[in-house]
Amino acid sequence: MSKIHAVITGVGGYVPEYILNNHELSTMMDTSDEWITTRVGIKERRILKEPGAGTSYMAAKAAEELFAKTGTKPEDVDLILVATTTSDFVFPSCASVVAEKLGVKHALAFDLQAACAGFLVALTNAASFIESGRFKKVLVFGAEKMSSITNYEDRTTAPLFGDGAGVMLVEPTTEEFGVMDSILKTDGIGGMHLMLKAGGSANPASNETIEKKEHYIYQEGQYVFKHAVTNMAGVSAEIMEKNNLSGDDIAWLIPHQANLRIIDATVQRTGVSYDKVLINIDHFGNTSAASIPLCMWEAQDKFKKGDNIILTAFGAGFTWGSVWLKWGY
Ligand code: UT7
């Protein structure tokens, strides 16, 4: 029997309408367009302003677009995986809220939390579920409302993050397309250097945690930067070497969008030319688990059947990795 591969058969996405640009940010805090552009590469980011709307709002909109494009019906879906750090609630899962919004009643739905590397972890999980032969139509989301955990009085983190959601439809195929390989890693050394300090079981919400602003992203930027540069570039080169792929063999390199300088290091290490690198950090900022699927959403018309695509990400944990895809349509 031929091996079952998991192949992406459709892409959907959604970003909120509201654009928070560097100029507006510089009226809110001591920062400048020049600093943000040269140090990070961001010009503007999208912010979800709808009252009461969480991450599931954007994920459901992304899926509605995907359903319309692919002719998928809610009853066809048998698994929903949502990679997010900003679930609507601690529980129930964002995936179960999304399932309800989409009218999906017969699927297993759950979240995966691997911060900025979450989409790669979810996609790899989806591939394993499909390769097992038990699941046939899987929705894999990377979706984040980063503005809900961003302190707009802290210039060291506020300019970095944005909101959005991307989704892939993943299905089985016996052809040589889809998720061909993945390398995923974690090193807990990163734990305390990039985190949300409060609201979990170790440090539940209290008046004190609110006063200390511990419900917002805490990041030691330079420490994270050093590890991100080394590891994202390293794992991208590793998956290419393991599979005998050179820079010329790669049609698209799709890196997580945290800092243009981290992306540059990865591009140089892999030998992929810059015109094959997808970038959205300039207009969406760092959307954490949504950054890679949003890149794919914007660029999907450029992909050709058989294209070798390398996805790579690094984030809190630290957790990082790379996925090699052969585009299937
Ligand atoms: O998404 C997953 C994981 N996250 C990452 O991969 C992010 C990794 N880290 C980074 O991308 C960068 O470290 C940052 C973008 C977060 C920061 O850039 P940096 O070049 O490392 O800046 P820095 O923290 O070393 O700060 C340099 C200076 C400091 O001033 P002094 O001490 O030199 O006087 C900061 O206070 O820049 C100052 N600064 C700012 N100035 C204007 C920090 N934030 C700002 C700002 N506007 N927004």
| Digit-coded pLDDT (tens) for 264-297 | 999 999 999 999 999 999 999 999 999 999 999 9
Residues 220 and 255 in one domain: yes
CA dist 83 and 319 (Å) reads: 13
Residue 207 is a catalytic residue: no
Atom 8 of ligand 1: nearest residue by CA position? 225
Residues 169 and 223 in one domain: no
Mean pLDDT of 134-154: 98
Residues 39 and 136 in one domain: yes
Identify the CATH number of the domain in which residue 236 sits.
3.40.47.10
For 148-173, the pLDDT digits (tens) are 999 999 999 999 999 999 999 999 99
Mean pLDDT of 90-113: 98
For 172-230, the pLDDT digits (tens) are 999 999 999 999 999 999 999 999 999 999 999 999 999 999 999 999 999 999 999 99
The domain total for the chain is 2
pLDDT of residue 1: 63
Residues 208 and 167 in one domain: no
For 39-78, the pLDDT digits (tens) are 999 999 999 999 999 999 999 999 999 999 999 999 999 9
Residues 255 and 230 in one domain: yes
8 A C-beta contact, residue 28 and residue 147: no
DSSP lists the bridge partners of residue 315 as 319
CA dist 44 and 98 (Å) reads: 27
* Interval between CA 226 and ligand 1 midpoint (Å): 12
**Among candidate residues 59, 47, 85, the one with its CA nearest the CA of residue 284:** 47
48 touches ligand 1 (CB under 6 Å): no
159 touches ligand 1 (CB under 6 Å): yes
* Interval between CA 278 and ligand 1 midpoint (Å): 23
Say whether 107 sits in a helix, a strand or coil.
Answer: coil
Residues 146 and 246 in one domain: no
Exposure class string for 212-237: b at 16+ Cβ within 10 A, else e:
eebebbbbebeebbebbbebbbbbbb
**Mean pLDDT, all residues of the chain:** 98
pLDDT of residue 207: 98
Residues 271 and 320 in one domain: yes
Residues 159 and 195 in one domain: no
Percent of the chain beyond pLDDT 90?
A: 99
**Which residue, 133, 150, 176, sits at the end of a domain?**
176
Mean pLDDT of 97-101: 98
**Domain ranges, residue 77:** 5-176
For 245-261, the pLDDT digits (tens) are 999 999 999 999 999 99
**Which residue, 176, 192, 220, sits at the end of a domain?**
176
pLDDT for residue 2 is more than 90: no
Residues 221 and 283 in one domain: yes
Mean pLDDT of 110-136: 98
Distance of CA 6 to the CA centre of its chain: 19
pLDDT for residue 325 is more than 80: yes
* Interval between CA 222 and ligand 1 midpoint (Å): 7
Residues 11 and 123 in one domain: yes
Residue 116 is a catalytic residue: yes
Residue 94 is a catalytic residue: no
Atom 5 of ligand 1: nearest residue by CA position? 258
Distance of CA 179 to the CA centre of its chain: 16
Q: Which of 26, 116, 156 to mutate to test the pocket of ligand 1 (most atoms within 8 A of CB)?
A: 156
Residues 143 and 256 in one domain: no
- Residue among 227, 256, 259, 308 flagged as catalytic: 256
Residues 43 and 138 in one domain: yes
Confidence of residue 8 (pLDDT cuts 50, 70, 90): very high
pLDDT of residue 209: 98
**Which residue, 114, 149, 176, sits at the end of a domain?**
176
- Residue among 116, 125, 231, 259 flagged as catalytic: 116
